[in-house]
Amino acid sequence: MSETDKVFAGSIPAYYDRYLGPLIFEPYAQDMAHRIGDLKEGRLLEVAAGTGIVTRALERALPPKIAILATDLNQAMLDHAATQGRSARVKWQQADALSLPFKENEFDAVLCQFGVMFFPDKRKAFQEARRVLKPGGRFLFNVWDRIEENEMALVVAEAVATCFPQDPPQFLKRSPYGYHDETAIRRELEAAGFLSIKAETLPKQARASSPRDPAIGFCQGSPLRSEIEARDPKRLAEVTEIATKAVAARFGNGPIDGKIQAIVFEARK
C-alpha cells in the first residue's frame, strides 16, 4: 500500500461524501445498520467512520440507549462528518484502528464499513477490535469484492490508466478493491482470536444522476486524486472528463446504474 492511499484531505472528504456516498456507500450503510439493529443498549464503536455515512444510518436505526463512538485516522474526514449531523449520543474521536485508545471489554459491538482494506496490518486491527469488545460482542465489517464485480469503479480505473500508459495509477485495484480473499480474511480473523465467523457476498446496484458523478467521486473524492496529481497536477480536470466519457459510453448519458458487490463479515469474541 502506498502512503497516499490513506490520505483523505483537502477537498477529498466533501467530494467523497457528496458523490461516492450516495453512489456506493449508502446502500451498504443501510445493510450494516440493519444487521446490528438487534442491539438494544450499550456502546458501539465504529472504526474508519470516514465522513459518517454509516454513523448517520446507525443513529437513525438504533435505539436511543445505544451510545455511538465514531473514530477515524483522518481528522479531516471526522471534521466533515461532524458538520453533517449533530446527535447528542454520537461522539467523534480521532483514533488509529491498529492502536485503539480504549480499555479492554469496553464495547458491545465494533463496526467498520469499507475501512479494513486500508489498515496496513489487518491482523493487528482485528486483534484491537477483539480486545475492546466485551465477551460475546460482535465485530461487523465489510470489504469490496474484486473490482471486476464493481462495474463503475472498473470503468473509471481503466479510463484513468489510459491517461498514463507508462505509469497507470493503481489505487482502486490496490486498496479499496484489493482485499477480498474470503479464505485469507477468515484466517486472519481466526488468528486474532475471533469465533463464529460468518461471511456473505452481497451484490447491490449503484445509481447516479449522471456519468459525471462516479467520475468525480473516484477521481477527485478518493486518494486516486493524489495519484493523478502526482503524475501531472494540471490534468485532474482532463482525466475526470475522460473518465466521465468512459462511464457514459458504458452506462449511458442519463441516470445510470451498475453492479456493486461487497463481502460482509461478522465474528464474535
Q: Taking the domains of the chain in order of start, what are their residue ranges?
A: 3-268
Question: Percent of the chain scored above 70 by pLDDT?
Answer: 96
Angle, helix 236-251 to helix 212-220, in steps of 10 degrees: 140
What confidence score (pLDDT) does residue 83 get? 85
Read off the pLDDT of residues 238-256 as tens digits, 9 standing for 90 and up. Answer: 999 999 999 999 999 989 9
Under the banding of pLDDT at 50, 70 and 90, the label for residue 8 is low
| Grid coordinates given for 66 | 445505544
Q: For position 5, what pLDDT does the model report?
A: 47
pTM of the shown model? 0.94
CATH of 3-268, one of 3.40.50.1820, 3.40.50.150, 3.40.50.300, 1.10.1040.10: 3.40.50.150
Provide the sign of the torsion angle of the four alpha carbons 145, 73, 194, 190, taken in this order.
positive
Q: What is the pLDDT of residues 27-49, one digit of tens each?
A: 999 999 999 999 999 999 999 99
Nearest to 52 by CA among 90, 15, 12: 90
Q: Walk across the sheet containing 195-208 and list its strands.
A: 90-94, 66-72, 42-46, 107-113, 133-144, 256-268, 195-208
Give percent of the chain above pLDDT 90.
89
